[in-house]
Amino acid sequence: QEAHGAPEQTGGRIVLQDIAKPVKQDGWTPLESIEAALQLERTVNQALLDLQGIANRTNDPELTDFIESNYLHEQVDDIKKLGDHVTNLKRVGTGLGEYLFDKKTLS
Distance CA 82, CA 39 (A): 9
Q: Does 75 belong to an annotated binding site?
A: yes
Q: Which of 46, 44, 51 is nearest to 66 (CA)?
A: 51
Rounded to the nearest 10°, the torsion over CA 49, 51, 53, 58 is -170
Contact 34, 82 (CB under 8 A): yes
Q: Does 9 belong to an annotated binding site?
A: no
Per the annotation, binding residues are 41, 75
Per the annotation, binding residues for Fe cation are 41, 75
